[in-house]
Structure 1
Amino acid sequence: MDEKPLILVTNDDGMFAPGLRALVESVRTLGRVIVVSPDSPQSGKGHAITLREPIRVHKVDPFRDIEAYECSGTPVDCVKWAKNVLLKEKTIDLCVSGINHGANHSINILYSGTMSAAMEAAMEGIHSIGFSYLDFSFEADFTIPGKFATKISKYMLGLEKNPQKPILLNVNIPNINQTEIKGIKVCRQSNARWVEEFQPGIDPRGMKYYWLSGQLVNNDKGENTDSRALDEGYVSVVPAQFDLTDYGAFDSLKGLSDAE
C-alpha cells in the first residue's frame, strides 16, 4: 500500500459535501487516499488558521475503505494537521482540494478556503490542486467535474517532484454539458474585483446587522484569462503561487531607501 502515491484530500465545504465525495471517488484508484476535512462549512475563510482555541480531530467513516478525519479548524488547519501529525513520517505525493460548490476563478483565489488548503500544501512542497465547479447548488451533478479531476490529478502525479518548486493549480470547471466543453486551457488569472454591498436588517431582538453581498466585476479584456476560458466553454487551469511579491514595482521603488 505504501508504494502507491499518497493523496491528501480536503475541502472547505465539510466532510459530507457532495463535491468532496466526488473528488474522493475521482482519485481513489490513483493511490492511497487520506481525507482530512473541516467539520463544518468554511467557505470564504481564505488562509485563516486557528490560534485562540484548540483544534479537535476525530476519525469518521463516510467513505468505503477510505481513511477520513473531521477537523474543527479551517481548511488550512486540516492540511497542517495532516502534514505534521497524521502523516508526519510520510511523503504526500499530491494534495487535492474540493470539489468546491461554486467558482474560484479570478480574485476569488484570495478568499477561497478551497484554494488556501491547496496553497498550504504547496507551501509544504507538495504538488496541489484546487478544484471548483461553477454550480453553487448542493444538488449539483459532479459527474463531469469528477472526470476532469481524475484526468488532471493523474497528470500531476506523473510530474517530477521538486519540493523547492511544487506546482499549484487553480482548476475551474464550467457548468455546461460535457459535449459543450471544448477542453482544458492553461491560462492566467483574470484581473477582476468584488463590488460589495452590505444589506442592513434587524434581527428578532431588535439589533441591527449587515449581510454581505456583491457582484464580481471583470474588466480584464485581455487574452488567455481564466474568466474568458470559462466563458468560452473550457476548463480553466491557472498555475498559481504563494509568492505575492510585485517584482515589477522594484524599479519604481529603487529610490525609497534614500528618501527623506
Structure 2
Amino acid sequence: MDKRKPLILISNDDGYAAKGINSLVAMVRDLADVLVCAPDSARSGYSCAFSATLPLTLHQQHQEEGVEIWSCNGTPVDCVKLAMAELCPDRRPALVLGGINHGDNASVNSHYSGTMGVVREGCMKSIPSVAFSLCDHRDDADFEPLRPYVRRMVARVLTEGLPEGVCLNVNFPKLPSFRGVKVCRMTKGIWYNEVEKCHHPRNYDYWWMVGHYANLEPESDDTDEWALDHGYVAITPTRIDVTAYDMLDRMSNWTE
C-alpha cells in the first residue's frame, strides 16, 4: 500500500464475501488505500457488541495493490478494534466505512445495526465514519445506482472531515435512480410481534425473532423513512453522546 494516500478502513455485518462490501471497495479504491476487516459470516443485529469471552482469529482473504481484505470470527466492532490494533497499528485510517448493508438501517434499526456498530466504533476513536445501507436484502442486490453518491460523500468527508462525536447513517431506497438527497432526522418507529413461537417435533418450544416495523409518524416529511419512501437518499447525522441534555436541569433536584 502507498502510505502517501489516505487509508480507508471498511467493515460490515453481512460478512467479507457479501456483494455490498465488495461493491463499496470497488467504488472507493481509487480514492485511497483500502483495508477491509469484516466478519467471516453474517453478524446482523450485533450493534456495538464485542467479544469478551471468544478468542478471535484473523485470516487474510485477498491482497492486491491498494487493497487488503481480512476476515475475523468476531463481531463488526471486533473487526474494527482488531484492524486498528493489528493490521494498521502505525497508520491511522482517515475514514471508517460500514456497509454497504443489504437492508436499510433507518429509524430505530440504527440501534440494532452491526453496520452502525462499525461507524460508532470508528467515531468513538475520533475517526470520521460513515455507514451505507440499501433497502434491498437480496444477496444479488444492485448497488451500482449508489456509486456516484457514495463516491461524492466519501470524497467530501475525506476532505472536510466530520465533527467530533458525529457519524453519518446513509440509507438508499431500492430504486434504479434517486430523486436527490435529504439530510434528515431519525424516524420514530417501533417493531411489534417480534417473537414467533414454534414447537419442535422432539417436544420442546423454540422461538424465532421476527417482527413488523411501524412508522409512528408517517406524515412527517423531515425523517429518514419519509425520504426513503419518496425516493431520496437519507443522510442522518448521528451522535455518540446520548445524554438527554433537556433533562439535566429538570432533574437537578434529584441530587438534593
TM-score tier by shorter-chain length is: over 0.9
Alpha-carbon displacement from aligned partner over 1:108-163 (angstroms, at most 9, x marks no partner)? 1100000111110010010011100000111211111233222211111111476x
Match of 2:249 in 1: 251
CA contact (8 A) 1:183 1:234 kept: yes
Alpha-carbon displacement from aligned partner over 1:58-110 (angstroms, at most 9, x marks no partner)? 11118776211101110000001111221111121011110000010011110
Q: Secondary structure at the match of 1:170?
A: strand
Q: TM-score, normalised by structure 1?
A: 0.93
Amino acid at match of 1:235: V
Residue correspondence of structure 1 range 1-260 to structure 2 within 5 A: 1-61=2-62, 66-160=67-161, 165=164, 167-178=166-177, 181-220=178-217, 221-258=219-256
Measure the CA separation in 2 of the matches of 1:256 and 1:136. Answer: 47
Measure the CA separation in 2 of the matches of 1:14 and 1:63. Answer: 20
Q: Secondary structure at the match of 2:250?
A: coil
Alpha-carbon displacement from aligned partner over 1:177-218 (angstroms, at most 9, x marks no partner)? 21xx11111111111121133111123433210111111111
CA contact (8 A) 1:196 1:212 kept: no
| Superposition CA RMSD, Å | 1.6
Amino acid at match of 2:41: S
Q: Secondary structure at the match of 2:38?
A: strand
> Closer, same or farther in 2 for the Cα pair 1:149/1:248, shift >3 Å?
same
Comparing 42-51 and 211-220, the one that deviates more: 211-220
Identity %: 37
Measure the CA separation in 1 of the matches of 2:105 and 2:78. Answer: 20
Q: Secondary structure at the match of 1:158?
A: helix
Measure the CA separation in 2 of the matches of 1:184 and 1:55. Answer: 39
Amino acid at match of 1:121: G
> Closer, same or farther in 2 for the Cα pair 1:64/1:3, shift >3 Å?
closer
CA contact (8 A) 2:14 2:101 kept: yes
> Closer, same or farther in 2 for the Cα pair 1:218/1:53, shift >3 Å?
same
CA contact (8 A) 2:77 2:117 kept: yes
Measure the CA separation in 1 of the matches of 2:142 and 2:158. Answer: 26
> Closer, same or farther in 2 for the Cα pair 1:143/1:160, shift >3 Å?
closer
Amino acid at match of 2:174: N
CA contact (8 A) 1:126 1:167 kept: no
Comparing 146-155 and 111-120, the one that deviates more: 146-155
Amino acid at match of 2:216: N
Q: TM-score, normalised by structure 2?
A: 0.94
Measure the CA separation in 2 of the matches of 1:203 and 1:61. Answer: 42
Measure the CA separation in 1 of the matches of 2:212 and 2:43. Answer: 20
